[in-house]
Amino acid sequence: MFPTAIENFSEVFAGNYPIFYLVFSVANGLFLYFSSLKCLLALQQSGYKSGRYLTWLANPDTPYLKRLMILCLLGFLFFCVLNMCFAMVMLPLAASYIGFASYFLFTGLYVKSESSINAKVPLKKTQRLIRLSATFIVLLAALTFGFLVLLDWAAFLIGDRIVGVLRYSLICGLPVLTPYVLLIANALNYPFERGITKRYVKKTTAKLDASKVVKIGITGSYGKTSVKEILSTILSQKYRVLATQKSYNTPLGIALSVKRLDSTHDIFIAEMGARNRGDIKELCDIVKPSIAVLTGVNNQHLESFKTIENTKDTKYELMESLSEKGEAFFSADNEGSLELYGRFGGRKHLAGLNRETGAEVFATDVKTSAKGTEFTLNFDGKEPVKCVTTLLGEHSVSNVCLAAAVAQKVGLKPEEIRDGIARLTSIGHRLELVPNNKKIVIIDDSYNSNEDGIKAAMKVLDQFGGRKIVLTPGLIELGKIENVANYEFGKTLVSHADKFIVIGKHNAEMLIKGLLDGGANREDVIFAKTLNKGNALLNEMLKEGDVVLFENDLPDNYS
């Protein structure tokens, strides 16, 4: 199959050459695709946004390109050595193909080593990913084909024997180009994907417009999913409720949830996320909520919003979408929320722990413990009710108050709200007590931590006795203030825990500096390159009675 001589460049497109080019290009395209799965995962976790993907790629803490460069270098060196050795015992042009064995060997080993690194969030095999993968493989195969032709053409022009033997060694450099080829594939697919999204959104909008359900939109820098789940549970005491699944808070996420909407539903709750101005407005144009809920505003996602004012304006898009009959509910326990409450001129309500703000629904006699929370829920002009929940911390009570205010507005009695609160269960990865067969306490607060969440987590941690161990990679997506925030986070941790395992290099320097400056002993501060290594170190030090807090977890595109 392999051509063995080339006397005229026109022969490149005759005989066995085209077959060789085609077979090798397809095989190499597949090899390169499987070596790029980490890139696909990073792009998917970046919401298929090229800018965010490039930020990950350019991050000096991202080891992926370095590993690819090592693969290319090893493949190139072995390719050259093998070719030169075999050139002494066989035809030079035939010998030039021997090095492919080393190239595929090293690429295969690389693919195997990458697949052994467990992703925190696995690659989701969606239809969009399948379409992107097909385009990506075709581009990789086309790149390989063009490269082979180019190398043969160059070798023919130069006419040197050694160049002829080693010409294909430059193929070993292709793996390092794959992250950028993926960008091209994503750009080529974008118009088509945008068209599909528009069709989904149009269909979803029409279905919601035709429905008689009460539509509730929930946004905020934090606590969206928690309030959504709390509200959904409480409202289900009286109504049939459909809420967006998990943390699906994008146009397509809402569209996926609306697929399950039918005539038996009374209420639809949409969680609304944002990273840029206009994101909330886009979601409101789909849902057209009659009730808006704001959990709070802080510097979460400041990396994309750039300023806190941009964050506030974006969250306020939910209130701006309301009609004159619409009503807005604001947390009484967050300064940003209170500011937007003051800005809004429509029908509005406050709820939370801070009754001094004029909250219509508020909690008193709050008693927190390691087993849950008790409190009295007060309604403006109605008899208060005693409530009990397994949810941990005062921040959970604040969320409950906000949800209770909405529930009262849509027709639930205080007793029904109380019974709904009793049914609440912990929300995954949000100060969730994790059952285990060891005599230790594990608190999972690994979802998307922020400065307000840190304060809540520390209060919950203080409820427990025993030695306290915190595993954390710190805070992310805070832009220019990220270093300062992590330094202060480190100093804060010292007052609430005894041992600290810092995960990953991204924030390690500032976290460790904050811990040490805050008074932690050097031997109590441990660095682990990955979460798996951190867990291994944790298992070595665990004792009966320990309390372990997992605070935040870097997504795969930060590691």
User: What gap in Å lies between CA 113 and CA 111, rounded to an integer?
Assistant: 6
Residue 457 class from Cβ within 10 Å (0-12 exposed, 13-18 middle, 19+ buried)? Answer: buried
Q: pLDDT tens-digit profile of 243-297?
A: 999 878 889 889 999 999 999 999 999 999 998 899 999 999 999 999 999 999 9
Distance CA 76, CA 97 (A): 13
Q: What is the pLDDT of residues 402-417, one digit of tens each?
A: 999 999 999 999 999 9
- Using the predicted structure, report yes or no on whether residue 126 has a pLDDT greater than 80: yes
Q: What is the pLDDT of residues 155-197, one digit of tens each?
A: 666 666 666 556 777 888 888 899 999 999 999 999 999 999 9
Query: 38 in a domain, yes or no?
Result: yes
| Nearest of 24, 300, 303 to residue 143 by alpha carbon | 24
- pLDDT, mean over the chain: 88
Give the residue-averaged pLDDT of 317-323. 97
Q: Which candidate, 3, 1, 17, 21, places its Cα nearest to that of 144? A: 21
Query: Which residue range forms the structural domain that includes residue 406?
Result: 211-422
Average pLDDT over residues 384-393: 96
- Give whole-number Cα distances, 423 to 346, 385, 387, in Å: 33, 15, 11
Secondary structure of 365-428 in HEC code, one letter for each residue: EEEEECCEEEEEEEECCEEEEEEEECCCCHHHHHHHHHHHHHHHHCCCCHHHHHHHHHCCCCCC
Same domain, 510 and 405: no
Each residue of 510-541: pLDDT tens digit?
999 999 999 999 999 999 988 889 999 999 99
Same domain, residue pair 313 and 459: no
Q: What is the per-residue pLDDT across 471-506, written as a single tens digit (0 to 9) for each?
A: 999 998 888 899 999 999 999 999 999 999 999 888
Residue 73 placed within a domain: yes
**Cα–Cα distance measured from residue 124 to residue 191, given in angstroms and rounded to the nearest whole number:** 21
**242 and 284 housed in the same domain:** yes
Q: Is the pLDDT of residue 556 over 70?
A: no
pLDDT at 417: 98
- C-alpha angle 270-273-276 in degrees, rounded to nearest 5: 140
- Asked if 153 and 294 sit in the same domain, the reply is no
Q: Are residues 301 and 445 in the same domain?
A: no
Give the CATH number, domain containing residue 407: 3.40.1190.10
Q: Where does the pLDDT of residue 363 fall: very low under 50, low under 70, confident under 90, or very high at 90 and above? A: very high
Q: How many helices and strands, by DSSP H and E, does the chain display?
A: 21, 15
Co-location of 226 and 132 in the same domain:
no
Same domain, 111 and 157: yes
pLDDT of residue 2 exceeding 50: no
**What letter does residue 434 receive in the DSSP assignment?**
P
Mean predicted confidence (pLDDT) in 463-474: 95
The number of C-alpha atoms within 13 Å of 141 and in the hemisphere containing its C-beta is 15
Last residue of a domain, one of 158, 191, 224: 191
Do 274 and 414 share a domain, yes or no?
yes
pLDDT in tens, 209-247: 999 999 999 999 999 999 999 999 999 999 999 999 987
Choose one of 396, 422, 448: the last residue of a domain: 422
| In-domain check, residue 203 | no
273, part of any domain: yes
Q: Distance (Å, rounded) from C-alpha 386 to C-alpha 364? A: 10
Q: What's residue 167's pLDDT?
A: 72
Same domain, 266 and 297: yes
Task: Please state the domain count of the chain.
Answer: 3
Angstrom distance (rounded) from CA 312 to CA 296: 9
- 145-149, 323-327, 487-491 — which is least confidently predicted? 145-149
Determine the 3-state secondary structure of 112 from DSSP. helix
Among residues 177, 132, 150, 170, the alpha carbon closest in space to that of 41 is found at 132
Residue 101 has a pLDDT of 76
Kindly state whether residues 353 and 462 are assigned to the same domain: no
Phi-psi region of 479 (alpha: psi -120 to 50; beta: other; left: phi over 0): left
- Rounded distance, CA 494 to CA 254, Å? 41
- What's the rounded Cα separation, in Å, for the pair 97 and 6? 14
Residue 294 lies in a domain: yes
The token duo for 58 is: 């350019």
Separation CA 130–CA 136 (nearest Å): 10
User: Which residue intervals of 59-177 are DSSP H helices?
Assistant: 64-86, 92-95, 100-115, 127-158, 161-166
Residue 379 and residue 282 share a domain: yes
